[in-house]
Amino acid sequence: MKHPGTSSGGKPRTPRNPAKSTGTGRNFRNSRTGYAYRSKTRRDPARDVAFQALRRVDQDHAYANLVLPGLIERARLHRRDAAFATELVYGTLRLQGRYDAIIGLLSDRDIAALDPELVTVLRMGIHQILQMRVEDYAAVDTMVDLARDRLSAGPAGMVNAVLRKVTEHDLSYWLDAITSGLTGEKALSRAFSYPEWIVWALRDALVATGRDAGELPGLLHAQNRPAYVTLCARPGLISADELATAAETYLDADTRLGELSDCAVVLSGGDPRRLRAVERGLAGVEDEGSQLVAKVLAAAPVTGVERTWVDLCAGPGGKTALLAGLARSRDVSVIANEVSPHRAELVRDSTKAFTDQIVQVLQGDGRDFGGLHPGKADRVLVDAPCSGLGSLRRRPEARWNKSATDLKDLTALQQDLLRSALETVKPGGVVGYATCSPHLAETRQVVETTVKNRADLRVLDAPAVAREIIVNSEHDLGPGPYLQLWPDRDGTDAMFLALIQKKSPTEAPKQSETDLEIRQ
């Protein structure tokens, strides 16, 4: 079984051109080349930081994106070492299922019987050997040193033996070895390092959106590639061109503008927190797919004079800020509702640049909002809590922390939030139901269960609305009525959006009309 993008003659190398690594052929401005890493110290600080972060994720179920920055700062890593530690952490988390299978082959022991800290060191070593631009001897020696320092001489000997065996063959050999005797989704699960239930869920979602099941390996591969940081230039505060110029000047980063959102600026590297535009709230970090969700909701047709938009699950506030910029140009106010006090504060921080009080932040359960504010809004966004299967590029640990049994409670919550949003919206208004997951149970099944037998609702064609506003009008967004984005096709997280319009009282729809629209 051959891994996409991997030759059979040697170890895969990270593409030096950032545009190539997205798989889209789109070019950054002022592209630069990468560099190889070398270990020069007995206890390498970058690898030690990576080890600590991985242990926190494993032991405490912490999020890597929250744990790692603090560890990097405390260790005072230079930029290159910080980048190395980041790739080592995220890459190891993405592919730990694959690496565990290799460890199982070479150790002749069930991996569950091994010391978890030893397993972490082995995973880190295998990732450097098979996926990073690190010389074999450097990967082995530094991991042996780390094991000796963090564990003891005994485990260090095992690390030396196992990693030296790994260096004897390339990635293609090991993929064939760990998938021997397996077929179909089981083989894909092992080779691409996903729990099997996620492989099946992604396959079903692909097919449901009109794509071929044969495209599944490409999707799994895309979900295993690091996502570039994307910034959102908030309308009325800063333009995308101004933001791109600032990033090139102050971050020494290559940039490209978005293909889908005219607010998007994609960075090849650099810490966006160093930009004054981000510090002041003129821009924020937000995936281009998330930006498109907000922009499509704002572009959907409504009837009557607009006065109020609602973001029902607003934290941390990126979409709220984008909606606020769009709403202000139409003299419309935005209510941002968030159940978590901490996340409500994040929303306030995200919208701090809007000094004209256009955004009102409320703290409360979104399930109760519709009953308290019936018919309040012209547009309502429900960015529902979900499994996060669409953002595995950014949160690789999520695939190991979730299970199919989690979906029952999630989908019940999602249905309650959508019903509340439908109470909140006025006749003639539109609800946008969004998830960062393509799982059918969280997407179209939630929508169809909720709107079934509701003659006062219609499902609009979200891709048709999107085609009217995206930068590249030739971009294929797939069939309607739902908008499902994909990392392999669109270069974004796998965002889902349904647009549901509450019909005006004068329309007097028939039940069959609603059913027909949902089945399209």
- Give the residue numbers marked as catalytic: 436
Side-chain-facing half-sphere of 412: CA atoms under 13 Å: 4
Helix or strand or coil: residue 193? coil
* Backbone torsion region of residue 118, taken as left when φ is above 0, otherwise alpha when ψ lies between -120 and 50, otherwise beta: alpha
338 known ligand binder: yes
CB 91 within 8 A of CB 127: yes
383 known ligand binder: yes
The mean per-residue pLDDT over the stretch 313-325 comes to 98
313 known ligand binder: yes
The pLDDT-based confidence of 505 (bands split at 50, 70, 90) is confident
CA nearest neighbour of 24 among 256, 220, 354: 256
DSSP class of residue 28? P
315 known ligand binder: yes
H or E element, residue 285: strand 283-285
pLDDT of residue 21 exceeding 70: no
Distances, alpha carbon 33 to alpha carbons 15, 17, 18, 85, 88, in Å = 9, 6, 8, 19, 19
From 5-9, 80-84, 469-473, the region with the lowest mean pLDDT: 5-9
Per-residue pLDDT tens over the stretch 228-287: 999 999 999 999 999 999 999 999 899 999 999 999 999 998 889 999 999 999 999 999
Distances, alpha carbon 342 to alpha carbons 249, 334, 398, 495, in Å = 33, 19, 21, 24
CB neighbour list of residue 40: distance below 8 Å, 6 or more residues apart: none
Q: Structural domains in the chain? A: 45-177 (1.10.940.10), 183-224 (no CATH), 287-502 (3.40.50.150)
Distances, alpha carbon 142 to alpha carbons 78, 148, 153, 342, in Å = 18, 10, 14, 40
pLDDT of residue 162 exceeding 90: yes
Predicted pLDDT of residue 515: 43
Distances, alpha carbon 429 to alpha carbons 150, 335, 375, in Å = 59, 15, 9
Predicted pLDDT of residue 303: 95
C-alpha to C-alpha distance for 390 and 392, rounded to whole angstroms = 6
C-alpha to C-alpha distance for 287 and 299, rounded to whole angstroms = 19
390 known ligand binder: no
232 known ligand binder: no
